[in-house]
Amino acid sequence: MSARPYILAETTWQAVKETAFDVVVLPWGATEAHNYHLPYGTDNYQADYVAAEAARLAWEQGAKVVVLPAIPFGVNTGQLDITLNINLNPSTQLAILRDVVQVLARQGIPKLVVLNGHGGNDFKQILRELQAEFPSVFLSTATLFRIVDRSRFFEAPGDHADEMETSMMLHLAPDLVRPLAEAGDGASRRFRIRALREWAWAQREWSQVSADTGVGNPAAATAAKGAAFLAAVTQELSQFLVELAAADPHDLYE
């Protein structure tokens, strides 16, 4: 396998010191149960792939983009009783990101994209705090399953180990996907309080919401759907990376 110059884990100091990178991408996933048929590392496989493929497409257009190794643990505070769901508190995420951004600021690398692959992560407020602390680094975030409209590819609703995630994993790592006949149906319970269903927010206690840890029926998932969705996501993300690499952070508004 040839080293990919846009993947930091594969490249060398010789290559890095000769490249003026404009954008750093940090994939951030989670380690958690995904129904009975998907592996605990599902979010990490997805975030890693999307970051790498989008960076490849951007690199081929001349953008100097580099992808860091993924952070494999996310915010799982609503799943503390589910065995080996590994939780990072938001304050821990802030500490990790502060250290990463401090490195970029010290070394003059101007832009960071945190690519989120886990529904429990939310980096907006963290990046607001860090942007004030490190004004020389432009900070942004994107959540991979919100980059394109999922309804173009999937019919069944859901947000965890559902048709969408299962389709992606059938494309990315089919050997790690158990037969769909073994999967739970992803049935989930809703909040009784209307506002919490419609416009207010509270953390979901996962073991009370789902019997199989899934939310959304995966039965209609196919590898072809996953491939089509991922192609659309990586194409859209790559264009963002190309534009961001070329942009002046001090001249971003029309």
Task: Give strand pairing partners of 76.
Answer: none
Radius of gyration of the chain (CA): 19
Residue 254 domain-assigned? no
| Mean pLDDT in residue range 94-98 | 98
| pLDDT for res 96 | 98
Residue 125 domain-assigned? yes
CATH no. for residue 117?
A: 3.40.50.10310
Contact residues for 28 (Cβ-Cβ < 8 A; gap 6+): 47, 70, 71, 74, 93, 114, 115, 116, 117, 118, 121, 123
Residue 252 domain-assigned? no
Domains: count for the chain: 1
Q: Please report which helix (H) or strand (E) contains residue 138, including its range.
A: strand 138-143
Structure tokens at 27: 């994939």
137 pLDDT above the threshold of 90: yes
Phi-psi region of 35 (alpha: psi -120 to 50; beta: other; left: phi over 0): left
101 pLDDT above the threshold of 90: yes
| pLDDT for res 97 | 98
3-state DSSP call for residue 27?
Answer: strand
Residue 189 domain-assigned? yes
Residue 232 domain-assigned? yes
**Residue 178 confidence class, pLDDT cut points 50, 70, 90:** very high
Residue 157 domain-assigned? yes
Q: For all residues of the chain together, what is the average pLDDT? A: 97
Contact residues for 73 (Cβ-Cβ < 8 A; gap 6+): 29, 30, 31, 86, 87, 88
C-alpha 123: how far from its chain's center? 11
**Residue 52 confidence class, pLDDT cut points 50, 70, 90:** very high
Buried/exposed code over 58-77 (b: 16+ C-beta within 10 A; e: otherwise): bbeeebbbbbbebbbbbbbe
**Residue 1 confidence class, pLDDT cut points 50, 70, 90:** confident
Contact 249, 110 (CB under 8 A): yes
- SS3 of 97-125: the string is HHHHHHHHHHHCCCEEEEEECCCCCCCHH
- Host domain of residue 92: 8-246
Contact 58, 113 (CB under 8 A): no
Residue 215 domain-assigned? yes
Model confidence pLDDT, tens digit, residues 194-233: 999 999 999 999 999 999 999 999 999 999 999 999 999 9
Residue 231 domain-assigned? yes
140 pLDDT above the threshold of 90: yes
Structure tokens at 82: 């589910």
Q: Taking the CA atoms of 69, 70, 71 and 73 in sequence, report the sign of the dihedral they define.
A: negative
Phi and psi, residue 66, nearest 5°: -135, 140
Residue 43: count other Cβ atoms within 10 Å of its Cβ.
Answer: 31
**DSSP 8-state symbol, 25:** E
